[in-house]
Structure 1
């Protein structure tokens, strides 16, 4: 469930809606972290989310 929510948050905030360009890494993960914490209410760190996303992204690319 948390993996699905993480993927949804990454897709939702991964690109700037104004310029349609990718955001800087640190800013993107700050926004993803905020969105995920707001939607799930679960405590987590930005680094933990980024690490989990790296694993998911690798597996989803196969």
Structure 2
């Protein structure tokens, strides 16, 4: 079994990291790091950002909000 990441997986990992760095509010990061749960509005805001990226339902077709 090969546990090394492929180049495509490494690229995706970097894309996810950049997305989080750019879009996850610092206040929410601190809250999560402290072990607290996000409130309803924070969850909705984050899911909107995921949806815009096509990551809320990644295996759905693009025309329905996915990324396939």
Q: TM-score, normalised by structure 2?
A: 0.37
| Bigger Rg over Cα | 2
Structure ranking higher on relative contact order (CA contacts 8 Å, 6+ apart): 1
Normalized per residue, which structure has more helix? 1
Q: TM-score, normalised by structure 1?
A: 0.39
